[in-house]
Structure 1
């Protein structure tokens, strides 16, 4: 699956480099290595602590997923992916750091790298599975599992995103370890099929049953190093080792993810010893809080993230159905001031100028750099579109005022501050903005898919190192009866001429041509301003002294991508 939305900083998936718009230096630091003020400073990564066998860890989790049916629309939260899916669902390709780039590599599920060939205009992919790969009940992971997964996504209703799977013409299974997938047309992002986002599901358990009913509240099967022992709604998720896993077994006996939605509260719990690790949303005081812990905490800041924070404008709702209003809105906001205020302590100064995250920035352009505060341009655009300011200084047209509501995550101090700054800036420009925040489950389970919002403030997360703008910007990705309410173009975006360009990006197998077409798509997007990027947000991992093993953040699979290698430090 290409992209994921997230109400908190660290979330997928409605999916999405040298870095565009903002430049971080990848760094790892201890709390004691920070400077006395200003941005965090780089330091050498400390040696990984050796671990002992057994024991348990408790990790603070800022977001509880709505459900664990990863291919359904309810499975949109990246936190669910990080905590449960990555640990239990096998995938064809893993994303690993090779040199300076995060690159897809064949996983331990495969006996060899999948092969690709073109048969006329069709693309044929052959997958060969490792016969040692088994599910947690001892049953082999088979080619039938790939077929089941492919058809569930392609033909299912209320699927989070069908990109790539909607091109599948057939899936053949000549034997139990070989699957041959034929696509109707070439697909440049073919390596994400059965990989990040969806993976492979067990047909012998799910076939003939209601997949959503079996999986949504947690499931007992696993094809990864961990199993879900329990999901106590509103409290925690607990993992235990999968003793049938064919790869390296976990060192730990148990890992519990405890839900605490407030970053400051989570940091305080970490400081008191309740949590052994955090993956905190970068808040205003997070660096200072961690710095105050001295040597009791180790913090790693990873710039090559897939996280992009943006203002998502509903193009199907007044007043943002007007391109002129959207452009005037963009010229009325000082994005640089917002970014500096929110993320200056992390070294971030400049706003993002693209809807592609650092993970895929080689495909990006800087088209949004033109949108800086310019009151004259904003007024010119509004007046040319028939608007006039009323006695209270608010733009009005045909008896309607330029007023709207913004929606984001309730209780998130960083988001609330962003909204307050926006409210002040926009009021001066003649827009009236009301704040009405809610839960992630309500945003991504109800409001966004139904288009029941005007402006949203949330993140989009690239879930694979390939450009997937079409997942969020193609008109065919608008949830509707035509696509069984699938797709993540919640903004109802329809930009003239954009769909065919993004289709070429998706189809093109030549890397140079993909980059060229991706930048053409970005220009069309920037010209129309269907939404407005704010910042490429780094990943932050905080661990305590009890935690050992190789600790790092994978921009696709998250901070616990190698949880089986974690342990209690000796």
Structure 2
């Protein structure tokens, strides 16, 4: 599933989520070379310092999730995944670095690797659970939990993304440790079911109850190494060890994530010792601020990211309901200048030419590479569509200017600078741009799902190493009555001939064929320009001298994916 980020490089939707907001392949403990081919930014290699038992850490967190109901649309922010879900919700497959690729591997929830086979035209998946796996109340994690989770997603309303789950025809539970899931048609991304995005929830605690009411403000149960001790809204989230976890137990007694939305202020708090670690948005001044701390800060930069920043055009709103305007827009934006200005200090200098993030780059093409600043082409497209420039120098048609509002995260320096650059570039090209920013909760909880925006600037995050363009570009993913207001095609994209190709990508089990179909889909998307990719956004992890353990960034599960291994350095 994708996830969303409005402000940072994180967001959380099942297969590809927007983040108000959303990462890289390379070395686990060193800075990774960026996908642009440029030199890596200034950074230090990570370390695996030995740790002692006990103690606590305070971590600065740039975003507070709207809620902790991971199935509901309110749980869209990937920061919720990073801060609570990864540490408390068990999943069938983890994503781990194998060689140079991030790969799904069966988690310790499983007794064996799940198996799949075709039965006629249907796909049948068998899961066998580890009998040692228990919830924090001591009750076993059973096949009933998989069934409950699957049906909550398939049949629920206001579900963030139903991809894959909407194919389920039945979930059989022949015994407490075996679940057999039958899909009405093959699903190439089947390993993400019950994995990144949703995981597995406890049926014995949630069945018959209002799941959202139980979970949204934090929950007491856990099937991971940590439990949520408290969530003080607007202040912090605190985790403590889950004593009944069957795997490796945490070294620390407590970890507190303190909300600090301003990157510069958070870096200053780190410098003063208030924070032991940060996962900062790559702002213009971040590298210099961290370098100024010298040996007091260890920084890792990851470029093989699942985070893709883009300009999201509402295809159902004026003026982007015109394909000619969308193409003229693409020929009027100097994406390379924006990317160099924003991310050049991190080694990212080339714009993204695909809507596939580096995490799934083997499925990507480069069809957007033809969209470079070209005044002549932009003018030709606009005039052919009936537009003419008025006395103010802006395009106008039938008495209406080519004017629109761009929306992103309020108070985010990087996003605001991007908007200002866009405003200047587009004004010269004849488009009048107004900036009106908001909060992640308002953007992804209200404005975007309702289609109440014209141009959005946010990241989308691939939360699994599989292609999931359909979650964003298929017309069936437009939130509406037909899908119970689920789906993240907030842009109301409808590209002729695209849906069946995306369906092939989703249903094809042969990876070579999936790559072929994925690149076909990207060609159709680039030809229509329903939106415009900007950049793969790097991830940054900063840790202080007090922090020990194997420290690295997981592009799917975040920087705290192995928080149980962290500790106070000896």
Global fold match (TM > 0.5)? yes
Does residue 1:484 correspond to 2:472, yes or no? no
1:332-343 matched pairs, under 5 angstroms: 332-343=332-343
Per the TM alignment, residue 26 of structure 1 is displaced from its structure 2 partner at its CA by 5.9
Per the TM alignment, residue 25 of structure 1 is displaced from its structure 2 partner at its CA by 7.2
In 2, Cα distance between the equivalents of 1:367 and 1:246?
48
1:11-90 matched pairs, under 5 angstroms: 11-14=10-13, 15-16=15-16, 41=41, 45-90=45-90
Q: Secondary structure at the match of 1:380?
A: helix
* 1:174 match: 174
Per the TM alignment, residue 10 of structure 1 is displaced from its structure 2 partner at its CA by 2.5
* 1:284 match: 284
- CA distances 1:227-277 after superposition (whole Å, capped 9, x unpaired): 000000000000000000000000000000000111111111101100000
In 1, Cα distance between the equivalents of 2:394 and 2:266?
40
1:96-495 matched pairs, under 5 angstroms: 96-495=96-495
In 2, Cα distance between the equivalents of 1:111 and 1:45?
35
Flag the 1:279–1:399 CA change in 2: closer, same or farther, 3 A: same
* 2:8 match: 9
Per the TM alignment, residue 48 of structure 1 is displaced from its structure 2 partner at its CA by 1.1
In 2, Cα distance between the equivalents of 1:369 and 1:509?
29
Partners of 2:335 and 2:372 within 8 A in 1: yes
Flag the 1:423–1:24 CA change in 2: closer, same or farther, 3 A: farther
In 2, Cα distance between the equivalents of 1:51 and 1:360?
34
Partners of 1:478 and 1:488 within 8 A in 2: yes
Per the TM alignment, residue 9 of structure 1 is displaced from its structure 2 partner at its CA by 2.3
Partners of 2:90 and 2:109 within 8 A in 1: yes
In 2, Cα distance between the equivalents of 1:41 and 1:447?
36
Partners of 2:301 and 2:539 within 8 A in 1: yes
- CA distances 1:274-312 after superposition (whole Å, capped 9, x unpaired): 000000000001000000000000000011110000000
Partners of 2:60 and 2:277 within 8 A in 1: yes
Per the TM alignment, residue 5 of structure 1 is displaced from its structure 2 partner at its CA by 1.2
Does residue 1:529 correspond to 2:529, yes or no? yes
Per the TM alignment, residue 39 of structure 1 is displaced from its structure 2 partner at its CA by 6.7
Flag the 1:25–1:342 CA change in 2: closer, same or farther, 3 A: farther
Partners of 1:29 and 1:42 within 8 A in 2: no
Per the TM alignment, residue 553 of structure 1 is displaced from its structure 2 partner at its CA by 0.1
In 1, Cα distance between the equivalents of 2:11 and 2:205?
27
In 2, Cα distance between the equivalents of 1:527 and 1:466?
23
In 2, Cα distance between the equivalents of 1:95 and 1:425?
40
In 1, Cα distance between the equivalents of 2:498 and 2:474?
7
Partners of 1:308 and 1:537 within 8 A in 2: yes
- CA distances 1:44-78 after superposition (whole Å, capped 9, x unpaired): 73541110000000000000000000010000000
- CA distances 1:201-237 after superposition (whole Å, capped 9, x unpaired): 0000000000000000000000000000000000000
In 1, Cα distance between the equivalents of 2:56 and 2:518?
45
Q: Secondary structure at the match of 1:6?
A: coil
In 2, Cα distance between the equivalents of 1:64 and 1:203?
27
Partners of 1:23 and 1:348 within 8 A in 2: no
In 1, Cα distance between the equivalents of 2:145 and 2:8?
33
Partners of 1:148 and 1:201 within 8 A in 2: yes
Per the TM alignment, residue 526 of structure 1 is displaced from its structure 2 partner at its CA by 0.4
In 2, Cα distance between the equivalents of 1:381 and 1:441?
36
Per the TM alignment, residue 84 of structure 1 is displaced from its structure 2 partner at its CA by 0.2
- CA distances 1:523-545 after superposition (whole Å, capped 9, x unpaired): 00000000000000111000000
In 2, Cα distance between the equivalents of 1:454 and 1:42?
37
In 2, Cα distance between the equivalents of 1:489 and 1:214?
28
Per the TM alignment, residue 13 of structure 1 is displaced from its structure 2 partner at its CA by 2.5
In 1, Cα distance between the equivalents of 2:28 and 2:248?
28
Per the TM alignment, residue 347 of structure 1 is displaced from its structure 2 partner at its CA by 0.6
Partners of 2:63 and 2:259 within 8 A in 1: yes
Flag the 1:500–1:180 CA change in 2: closer, same or farther, 3 A: same
Aligned length: 557
Flag the 1:258–1:44 CA change in 2: closer, same or farther, 3 A: closer
Partners of 1:93 and 1:106 within 8 A in 2: yes
Q: What TM-score do you get using the length of structure 2 for normalisation?
A: 0.96
Flag the 1:297–1:333 CA change in 2: closer, same or farther, 3 A: same
Per the TM alignment, residue 23 of structure 1 is displaced from its structure 2 partner at its CA by 10
Q: Mind listing any 5+ residue stretches in structure 2 that lack a counterpart?
A: 17-22, 32-37
Q: Mind listing any 5+ residue stretches in structure 1 that lack a counterpart?
A: 17-21, 31-37
- CA distances 1:126-169 after superposition (whole Å, capped 9, x unpaired): 00000100000000000000000000000000000000000000
Per the TM alignment, residue 41 of structure 1 is displaced from its structure 2 partner at its CA by 4.6
In 2, Cα distance between the equivalents of 1:207 and 1:485?
23
In 2, Cα distance between the equivalents of 1:511 and 1:252?
41
* 1:34 match: none
Partners of 1:10 and 1:79 within 8 A in 2: no
